[in-house]
């Protein structure tokens, strides 16, 4: 699951009190220590803080995934939920056995379907592949928007190698504090970037307490001022997303189905 704009608040999480570089989440033991100070209204140009990783070449990719922070396995299904002002959003992410060849690399199709109060509103096929060092690369997506059971658009779709688009790094194998990397590149359409801001976070959600989580901050120059923090537990994968601005938890993991 790469990026989402619809999810907003998950009601079951305790009251949030957030400062941009110093998060305190009541009841969730999410107090950041020893992180750089940056004001939310800082004029720092975040785009300049990230670079497109050097692509290793088609011959350097392997079959399947070993990256512990994503914890992808063929057939595994992750389910997330978030309460929004429009209703309950449910997001189902499935690591399929389907593949797509892009730029000479056999990528895996990871299907992401979003429902609002039980009705499908978005269906996305993301294309990922892991290199021989364990870094997972993002080669694009085909994204459908649905309304009242009808397809209404494919905005946000892109493919590496087409119209100047290039693959980015979804998740490094060995994240280090302060590491910055571009996750996707299709100029004017897909320019997400990320930075590692914590390597040992404890996250408490209804599903349980997850220790040793990686925390990343994501942003895009296409939406100035917007930030997302994501929390990945090694061996479990993504467990929660939140927006630091306003202290809004967007989604949290509610179940994992393992084949």
Domains in the chain: boundaries:
16-257
Please give the pLDDT value at position 2.
54
**Residue 258 corresponds to which tokens in the numbers above?**
């393992």
| pLDDT tens digits, one per residue of 99-116 | 999 999 999 999 999 999
Report the C-alpha gap between 100 and 105 in whole angstroms.
Answer: 8
Please give the pLDDT value at position 243.
82
**Residue 54 corresponds to which tokens in the numbers above?**
């050097």
**Residue 168 corresponds to which tokens in the numbers above?**
């980015």
Q: What are phi and psi of 49, to 5 degrees?
A: -85, -5
Please give the pLDDT value at position 23.
33
Q: What is the CATH number of domain 16-257?
A: 2.40.360
Report the C-alpha gap between 115 and 230 in whole angstroms.
Answer: 20
Please give the pLDDT value at position 16.
31
Q: What are phi and psi of 162, to 5 degrees?
A: -115, 130
Beta bridge partners of 131: 61
Q: DSSP of 124-170, one letter per residue? A: EEEEEEEETTS-EEEEEEEEEEEETTEEEE-TT-EETTSTT-EEEEE
Please give the pLDDT value at position 47.
47
Burial of 179 (0-12, 13-18, 19+ CB in 10 A): middle
Extract the residue ranges of the chain whose pLDDT is less than 50: 5-49
Q: What are phi and psi of 80, to 5 degrees?
A: -125, 155
Q: What are phi and psi of 94, to 5 degrees?
A: -120, 130
Burial of 218 (0-12, 13-18, 19+ CB in 10 A): middle
């Amino acid at each position: 699951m790469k990026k989402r704009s619809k999810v907003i608040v998950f009601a079951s999480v305790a009251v949030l009190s957030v400062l941009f570089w110093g998060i305190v989440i009541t009841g969730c033991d999410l107090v950041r220590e020893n992180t750089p100070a940056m004001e939310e209204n800082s004029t720092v140009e975040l785009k300049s803080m990230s670079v497109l990783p050097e692509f290793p070449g088609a011959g350097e990719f392997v079959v399947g995934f070993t990256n512990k922070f994503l914890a992808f396995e063929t057939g595994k299904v992750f389910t997330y939920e978030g309460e929004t002002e429009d209703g309950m959003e449910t997001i189902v992410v499935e690591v399929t056995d389907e593949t797509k060849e892009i730029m000479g690399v056999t990528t895996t199709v990871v299907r992401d379907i979003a429902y609002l109060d039980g009705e499908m509103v978005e269906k996305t096929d993301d294309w990922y592949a892991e290199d021989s060092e364990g870094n997972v690369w993002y080669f694009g997506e085909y994204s459908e928007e649905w309304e009242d059971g009808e397809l209404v658009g494919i905005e946000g779709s892109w493919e590496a190698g087409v119209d100047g688009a290039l693959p980015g790094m979804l998740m490094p194998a060995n994240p280090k504090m302060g590491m910055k990397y571009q996750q996707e590149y299709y100029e004017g359409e897909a320019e997400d970037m990320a930075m590692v801001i914590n390597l040992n976070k404890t996250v408490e959600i209804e599903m349980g307490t997850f220790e040793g989580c990686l925390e990343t901050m994501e942003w895009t120059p296409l939406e100035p001022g917007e930030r997302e923090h994501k929390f990945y537990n090694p061996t479990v994968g993504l467990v929660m997303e939140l927006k630091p601005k306003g202290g809004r938890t967007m989604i949290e993991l509610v179940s994992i189905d393992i084949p």
